[in-house]
A and B are shown apart, each in its own frame.
Chain A
Amino acid sequence: MNGLPLLSLTTFLPLAGALVVTALRMAGGARLADGASKPIALIVSLACLVVSLIALQQFDPSQSGFQLVEKVAWYDGVSYHLGVDGMAILLVVLTTALTPLCILWSFKSVEERVSDYMIAFLVLETLMIGVFCALDLMLFYVFFEGGLIPMFLIIGVWGGKNRLYAAFKFFLYTLLGSLLLLAAMIYMYVTVGTTDVQTLQDYPFDPGVQTWLWLAFLASFAVKLPMWPVHTWLPDAHVEAPTAGSVILAGVLLKMGGYGFLRFSLPMFPDASILFQPLMFILSVTAIIYASLVAFRQTDIKKLIAYSSVAHMGFVTLGIFAFNEAGIQGAIFQMISHGVISGALFFCVGVIYDRMHTREIAFYGGLVHRMPVYAALFMLFSMANVGLPGTSGFVGELMTMVGGFQASSWAAAGAAVGVILSAVYMLTLYRRTVFGEMTNEKLFDIRDVTFTEFFILGLLAVFALGLGVSPSVVFDITEGSTRDILQMIGK
């Protein structure tokens, strides 16, 4: 197995699947392609999962540095360079694990232009995996920005009523970030003569220059994460996106921001990162408290969970900029944990949205009377989102706060307020939708989860609990990358 380019295989397998579906579509027409695209997409994404698991199994956590490296020179300092460390391989597996679930989910919930949808999803998967594997800044940029196109399509074609406004907002924010990132990249290439990530990580940029480059990278990553105050695109995008789109958006795309900080900002611009630590703490804590309070007042289930995501991403930036082992380990864990939990929560919303076609909290109430299994699963994920010990949410929040406390007790205390508020908005949401009397007649014959829904949510429940009880599975793998990052920042 060692000879196989595992990372390239993982990255481009979905693209190959997309090409097959496209070819079918061209040769056999839309009807044939629509029917065949479902099993093809599922099989391809499962195969991709298997390959990524093999890559994970080949990965040796005891080694530091990048592994499974593939490098082909392209052009004068720019190369096709792939490789992963512990953090990246886990994010790849998170992507390859969530995608088949999303495709399976879409079997019944997507009815129009099915083959186009599957093509978009498979292309998206390739680009997401590429982001985490790329070790060349140019290559990263292509994957990072390219991933937005299929996401736009998924929102814009299969989304809700206001999808154009949402996509437009997303576009404006991202545009700003992209241009600044590009400018910084060009500057770095001109200065150093290469876009190779490892070379750039070792290059001693002048502290004054670092500041500007750091800010340019921030513009891009802050939008993606999203951080306060550039978060307002996220609730709109989530509300309009179809269920699977929301799951991928919250589960994987948001993680690219956190990944970017850890892969580029900290190692390449250590002085600037330390300089801006207070700013990042203020923004993180503001995000946690502000977004939690806003979430509390939402009337739309998806908006509420979207704001909750903003708050939970605040813990990620808090941990990253603590510059210590607990904080960074916690931040990586929080990214993976949030991928599972927020993905599951958006699936939970999807269950009732598919049945009733509304996300208004006030429409629901008393669901437990008709949907006991759903109520139990939704309770579990709500508690995981609240960060109850025993679920993965707890470990991420606790460790980022432990790390944050060591850098600033103010930051940890501020984040802790968010821990109280998360209980307020989640339990209120749960009470309004699931508990109480069922008074809305339209709900009287709502069905409990189907077997597919149960399978998907049950699987995610196993991960939310499993990672909560045995988080060392993750920590053991990410320990090496955390140490590397800390070493590069000189801590």
Chain B
Amino acid sequence: MMRTTLRKSIGPLAAVLVAVTVWLGLVVTPPDRDQGDYVRLVYLHPALAWVALYVAFGMSAVCSLLYLWKRTRSLRFDRLAASAVEVGVVYTLLTLLTGSIWGRPTWGVWWTWDARLTSTAVLAVLLLGYLALRRVPAEAHIRARRSAVFALLAAINVPIIHFSVIWWQTLHQGATVLNPNLSPMIHGLMAWTLLLSFVAFTLLFAWMVMVRYEIETRRVDEDEVGMAAAIADRQAEGIHS
């Protein structure tokens, strides 16, 4: 019913919104006075960062908490958290990549020790650590518990890492990043395109997580079907021997 319609429509809707964002961002909106065409990254980079750092991280933390909470414990939350992190890693790496491309003409280098850039990079390693941890062979609930604990620890670490890096950076060399040239004047059509990009990339994230989750669920379902047969096989061993 409504749920299936929603599920089926979210993919095409995301695709259409991303396409519109691309069209508005590349064709319709004007280039910036100072940054030229580089300003068009504003329709990509902030939205990616928003999804990576808030939506993906937040979702994995909430799902992990729901898994650890005894009353809501279910492997579905484990799979959701894992799917969110997996897609989140892609978004985080794209955030770093677009940030670096954007920074190149303004800073003159591909990488600067900007506080946000640096802490995002550390977080990317944390997320990769989560995926590495999931690859360690273990029984489903043990793996789920380890992953959930790690995701929660990572979430707790985010503020610690963020503030340490900000203090480390500002106390070291002073704020050099708040370059006035880098904050483009945003108004009118540009503002709407920016807003649309947030909606489009968030929806795209939701769709990818959903697909990833369904793949994982189907794989588990197949295993569950095999369980009754496995018990029968096991009992048969005793009769034949």
Are chains A and B native binding partners rather than an unrelated pairing? Answer: no
Give the interface of A toward B (CB within 8 A): none
Chain B interface (Cβ within 8 Å of chain A)? none
